């Protein structure tokens, strides 16, 4: 069977189980010192760099726990997530000032000690998911404790959440006077799973509050979110010294918003229009309708190819943006049954399958070029954040959505 005639669902399942998850679990766990290695080479072999970063630790715990809950129960992923949980608590928690360190050397010595609320949020996300998969009450205790900590330290009177602090939880001067979309959408992500784990009214209220904040302050004119804001919610210059929007964040925010609203019992009629507008904005301004795939970022209100004041890298197609747009498109189609979204999903999947996935070396290429999908020299696991979280989650979400929609045999043609 040629790839084009194989059902999309079959390819989604295969890429998740035989490519993405296996790439990241073959050799990433450090048996001697504990923790997940943050740097892997092109085919998944270990790099000489052995530092352990908080984003990798938490994202690996979340993904492995989620994979177990997804039904992949015979690969030892929950056990491996448990090892990661133990390392996270025993080695990365700052017992003096609270919160998780940013990074440790292989011997366990902290070298990034400042506190990043975005990263603390990922700890809540991972710990909550691990609890849901394992029933481990200690994990839930630490999720609650981390939530209480960042609420006490980072929540401002106007509902926004500060992001960057010193080890002692003093605001870092360089980033003191800004809010970011990135921070707030990931807080929504983590709080949603936390309230699922606890059913605590305080956590449900936190989800409701951040939904309201996103819808009234961060999403501009109901259609897009710029990357940075002043403390009184005016767009702020950031990348390339311009005000920009991230197409990946717009797509990710769309589906996270829909998921969170549904999880707290909000009727779809209350949020579906805004979710559609976010996805429509990406389709109009950052999507390649001929080949599929979305660009990196652009100027608000302009097509990415016409955002002349921004650097050419705005056109690059990153792995995480493509993954988040896959999820956004299939979930918005499920909400609306508008065939245009299913058509766009098909093109998006074609791009991912033909250009973003490395069928020879494994995993997904980090960044490829806009016109032809040529892979750039960007390691698949050569930094502090790229692992199987974005694409693993997207593949799990798409698998379940395609099953619910009865599209088991759909090849992506004839839409």
Q: What is the DSSP letter of 222?
A: T
Vertex 324 angle, CA 320 and 328, to 5°: 170
pLDDT tens per residue across span 275-326? 999 999 999 999 999 999 999 999 999 999 999 899 999 999 999 999 999 9
Predicted confidence at residue 382, as pLDDT, reads: 65
Query: Rounded to whole angstroms, what are the CA distances from 121 to 111, 124, 238?
Result: 20, 5, 22
Percent of the chain with pLDDT over 90: 88
pLDDT at 47 over 90: no
- Tell me the mean pLDDT in the region 195-207: 98
Indicate the pLDDT class of residue 46, thresholds 50, 70 and 90: confident
For 82-127, the DSSP string reads HHHHHHHHHHSB-TTT-SB-SEE-TTS-EEE-SEEHHHHHHHHHHH
Closest of 309, 301, 305 to residue 287, by C-alpha: 305
415 pLDDT band, cuts 50/70/90, is very low
Backbone φ and ψ for 231, nearest 5 degrees, come out as -70, -10
The CA–CA distances, whole Å, from 127 to 45, 153, 165, 410 equal: 27, 20, 22, 36
- CB neighbours of 340 closer than 8 A, spacing ≥ 6? none
Over residues 379-402, the pLDDT tens digits come to 777 678 899 999 999 999 999 999
pLDDT class for 43, splitting at 50, 70, 90? confident
Q: What share of the chain is helix, strand, coil (3-state, %, to 5)?
A: 55, 10, 35
pLDDT at 380 (0 to 100): 73
pLDDT per position as a tens digit, 321-344: 999 999 999 999 999 999 999 999
Is pTM beyond 0.85 here?
A: yes
Helix, coil or strand: residue 12: helix
Environment class of 265 (CB within 10 Å of its CB; exposed 0-12, middle 13-18, buried 19+)? exposed
Phi, psi of 357 (to 5 degrees): -75, 135
**Closest to 273 (Cα-Cα) out of 338, 213, 227:** 338
In whole numbers, what is the pLDDT of the chain averaged over residues? 94
The pLDDT of residue 178: 92
Residues 195, 248, 276, 398, CA torsion sign: negative
Predicted pLDDT of residue 222: 83
Q: Encode pLDDT of 90-135 as tens digits.
A: 999 999 999 999 999 999 999 999 999 999 999 999 999 999 999 9
Q: Delineate the domains of the chain, giving CATH numbers in brackets.
A: 8-404 (1.50.10.10)
Q: What's the pLDDT tens digit per position in 228-267?
A: 999 999 999 989 999 999 999 999 999 999 999 999 999 9
Per-residue pLDDT, averaged over 59-63, amounts to 98
pLDDT attached to residue 413:
67
């Amino acid at each position: 069977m040629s790839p084009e005639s194989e059902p999309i669902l079959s390819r989604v399942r295969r890429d998740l189980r035989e490519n993405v998850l296996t790439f990241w679990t073959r050799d990433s766990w450090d048996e001697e010192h504990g923790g997940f290695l943050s740097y892997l080479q092109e085919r998944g072999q270990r790099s000489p760099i052995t530092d352990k970063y908080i984003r990798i630790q938490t994202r690996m715990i979340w993904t492995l726990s989620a994979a177990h809950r997804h039904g992949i129960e015979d690969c030892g992923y929950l056990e491996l997530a448990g090892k990661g949980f133990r390392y996270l608590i025993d080695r990365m928690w700052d017992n003096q000032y609270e919160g998780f360190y940013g990074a440790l050397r292989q011997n366990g010595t902290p070298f990034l000690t400042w506190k990043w609320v975005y990263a603390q949020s990922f700890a809540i996300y991972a710990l909550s998911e691990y609890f849901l998969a394992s029933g481990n009450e200690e994990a839930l205790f630490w999720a609650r404790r981390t939530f209480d900590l960042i609420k006490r330290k980072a929540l401002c009177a106007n509902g926004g959440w500060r992001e960057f602090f010193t080890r002692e939880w003093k605001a870092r001067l360089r980033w003191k006077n800004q809010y970011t979309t990135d921070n707030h959408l990931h807080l929504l992500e983590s709080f949603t799973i936390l309230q699922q784990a606890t059913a605590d009214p305080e956590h449900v209220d936190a989800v409701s509050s951040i939904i309201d904040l996103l819808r009234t302050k961060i999403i501009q004119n109901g259609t897009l979110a710029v990357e940075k804001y002043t403390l009184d919610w005016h767009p702020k210059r950031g990348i390339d010294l311009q005000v920009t929007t991230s197409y990946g964040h717009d797509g990710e925010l769309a589906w996270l918003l829909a998921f969170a609203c549904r999880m707290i019992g909000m009727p779809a009629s209350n949020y579906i229009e805004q979710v559609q507008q976010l996805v429509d904005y990406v389709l109009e301004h950052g999507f390649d309708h001929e080949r599929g795939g979305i660009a990196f970022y652009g100027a608000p209100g302009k097509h990415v190819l016409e955002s002349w004041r921004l650097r050419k890298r705005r056109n690059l197609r990153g792995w995480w943006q493509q993954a988040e747009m896959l999820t956004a498109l299939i979930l918005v189609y499920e909400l609306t049954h508008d065939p245009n979204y299913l058509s766009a999903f098909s093109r998006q999947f074609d791009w991912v399958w033909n250009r973003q996935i490395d069928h020879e070396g494994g995993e997904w290429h980090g960044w490829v070029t806009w016109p032809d999908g040529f892979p750039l020299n960007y390691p698949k696991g050569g930094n502090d954040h790229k692992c199987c979280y974005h694409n693993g989650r997207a593949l799990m979400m798409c698998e379940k959505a395609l099953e619910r929609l009865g599209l088991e045999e759909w090849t992506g043609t004839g839409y």
